[in-house]
Each structure stands twice: as C-alpha cells, then as structure tokens.
C-alpha cells in the first residue's frame, strides 16, 4: 500500500518512471494488471482490474516467459530470479518467488476484482535481474495454497501452490507512462 505516486511525482515529475501492462482475456476472465515504478530503487506499484466468475478465488502469478507458442502452457514456471521456494507476501518472513504477487484474486458478487499494492521483488527496469518486462501473468483454475500445503500436497505447494490449470494469461509489455492515481 503506501503512497508511491506522490513521491514519484514530487521526485521526478508526473510522467517519470516506467510502466508496463498485461491484458488478460479469455472466456472466463477479462482485465489487466498495470505496473508502475518511479525509480529503480522504489517498489513497483501493481494495480489489478479484472473481472471473472462471481465469488470465486483464483491464483495469479508472474510466470518466467512471454512465449505463447502453446498458449498459457509455454510460459514456464513462476518467475524466480532469487531461487526461492513458492510462498506468500501474506506469511511473515516466508521465502517466495518474485512472481508470487498476491497469490490469489477473489472476484466480488459483481464479478469484479480491484486491488493495488507495492512489490519490492520485481522491477520494470531492464538492467535489473528482477525485470518482468516480456514475462507473463497467469491466472489459474484453483486457489493458491500460499506454500502451506501439507502431506502429499507439500512438494507441489512449494513449487506452484497447487494452483491447477492455467485458465487465462497475457504477456507483460511496456505501457505508456501514466502515473495512475
Ligand atoms: Cu501461476
Ligand atoms: Zn510461486
């Protein structure tokens, strides 16, 4: 959360920094994830505006590749430049993939999901090894278990969060540099 936009504009002007977007379109899901970063040392502001099945929760991640040769299947695994196990921002001090984002999105009773947060484990600057430009967003059929799976689910939990099939995806491309308010 926080107030990156005001610090961004006071530091460098309204149109400073870098922006990126992934548009998401399928039978079930429509919308976008918009990214903005003021300067390389700042976190990335991530804005989700997505519609989908009412009252349903679906996993969402950044995956490693932007290769749609086989649709969502050729986008690789979770973006993981720091070689961590799968985890969650919602569990204190838990290792996680840079691509784990907020793990899940829940559409409300009108089928909408809107959320903004800041992420320090990704970058929009191409010289950073955390750069997400040219990678992808994937939405899954099931809910991400935040790496907390037990028993026979544990091993897969620490890789994918047992999120299931890929139901929608989009490549992360460079966007016009808007400073969303
Ligand atoms: Cu995923
Ligand atoms: Zn992950």
Average of per-residue pLDDT values in the chain = 92
End-to-end, the C-alpha distance of the chain in Å comes to 13
Active site residue 58: no
Residues contacting 73, CB < 8 A, separation 6+: 166
What is the domain range of residue 37?
Answer: 16-175
Q: How far is CA 170 from the centre of its chain?
A: 11
Within-domain flag for 96: yes
Cα 102 to ligand 2 centre (Å): 10
- Asked, for residue 109, whether it belongs to a domain, the answer is yes
Using a CB cutoff of 5 Å, list residues around ligand 2, an ion.
78, 86, 97, 100
Question: Which CATH number do you get for residue 40?
Answer: 2.60.40.200
Domain assignment present for residue 91? The answer is: yes
Does position 15 have pLDDT exceeding 70, yes or no?
no
Do 135 and 65 meet the contact criterion of CB atoms below 8 Å apart? yes
Distance of CA 77 from the midpoint of ligand 1 (Å): 7
List pLDDT tens digits, range 96-120: 999 999 999 999 999 999 999 999 9
For residue 131, pLDDT beyond 80? yes
Residue 147 lies in a domain: yes
pLDDT in tens, 38-86: 999 999 999 999 999 999 999 999 999 999 999 999 999 999 999 999 9
Which two tokens mark 154?
């544990």
Does residue 52 form part of some domain? yes
Count other C-beta atoms under 10 Å from residue 106's C-beta: 12
5 found inside a domain: no
The count of domains in the chain is 1
Confirm whether 1 is domain-assigned: no
């Amino acid at each position: 959360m926080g107030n990156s936009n005001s610090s961004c504009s006071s530091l460098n002007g309204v149109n400073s920094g870098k922006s990126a977007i992934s548009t998401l379109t399928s039978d079930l899901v429509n919308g976008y994830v918009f990214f903005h970063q003021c300067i390389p040392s700042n976190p990335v502001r991530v804005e989700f505006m997505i519609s989908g099945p009412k009252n349903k929760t679906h996993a969402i991640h950044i995956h490693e590749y932007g290769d749609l040769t086989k649709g969502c299947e050729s986008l690789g695994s979770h973006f993981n430049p720091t070689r961590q196990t799968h985890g969650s921002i919602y569990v204190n001090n838990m290792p996680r993939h840079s691509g784990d984002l907020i793990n899940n999105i829940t559409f409300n009773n009108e089928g909408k999901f809107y959320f903004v947060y800041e992420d320090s484990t990704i970058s929009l600057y191409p010289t950073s090894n955390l750069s997400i430009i040219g990678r992808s967003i994937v939405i899954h059929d099931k809910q991400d278990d935040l790496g907390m799976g037990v028993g026979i689910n544990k091993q897969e939990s620490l890789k994918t969060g047992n999120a299931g099939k890929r139901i929608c995806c989009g490549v992360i491309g460079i966007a016009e540099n808007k400073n969303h308010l």
